[in-house]
Amino acid sequence: MKDNKINGNYSFEKMKMAIAVRKDLDMGKGKIAAQVSHAAVECALRKSQKVEDWIRDGQKKVVVWVKDEDSLLSLIQKGRSMGISVCPIRDAGRTQVEPDTLTCAAFGPDEDSVIDKITGDLKLL
């Protein structure tokens, strides 16, 4: 957690994870929920101090949408270039989408301000 000492007091920036989902795939609500869950779990399993801080801070998550695969790939590249944990999810293709389809990606957990640099301008799903 970012730790800023202001006038002798500490203020901590909140932690969150953002998951971006492709809107062009027309997945059902249950399928979206499963894909988002895969992404959140994968990022949470990457043991780090940030994951521990995020768990202690309530595991805040936001789910946003992107218009297509190119938009999601661009976000993934941006997150990786910033050194943020990025967890892209490719579906097995047993139900609604073709095998190996990139469905979503999780970013973080990290400080709110860091995650907002990647997904802050996207609309909530």
- The CATH number for 35's domain is 3.40.1490.10
> How much of the chain is helix, strand and coil, in % rounded to 5?
35, 30, 35
Q: What is the mean pLDDT of residues 97-117?
A: 97
Mean pLDDT of the chain: 91
Give the integer Cα–Cα distance in Å for 67 and 22.
6
How many Cβ atoms are within 10 Å of 15's Cβ, its own excluded? 25
Per the domain annotation, does 5 fall within a domain?
A: no
Give the integer Cα–Cα distance in Å for 61 and 3.
21
Select from 36, 44, 42, 45 the least CA-distant residue to 15. Answer: 44
Per-residue pLDDT, 11 = 44
How many structural domains is the chain composed of? 1
Per the domain annotation, does 79 fall within a domain?
A: yes
Per the domain annotation, does 8 fall within a domain?
A: no
Per-residue pLDDT, 9 = 39
Per-residue pLDDT, 10 = 42
Domain of residue 83: give its range: 13-119
User: Each residue of 29-68: pLDDT tens digit?
Assistant: 999 999 999 999 999 999 889 999 999 999 999 999 999 9
pTM: 0.88
The residue among 3 and 66 whose pLDDT is bigger is 66
Percent of the chain topping pLDDT 70: 90
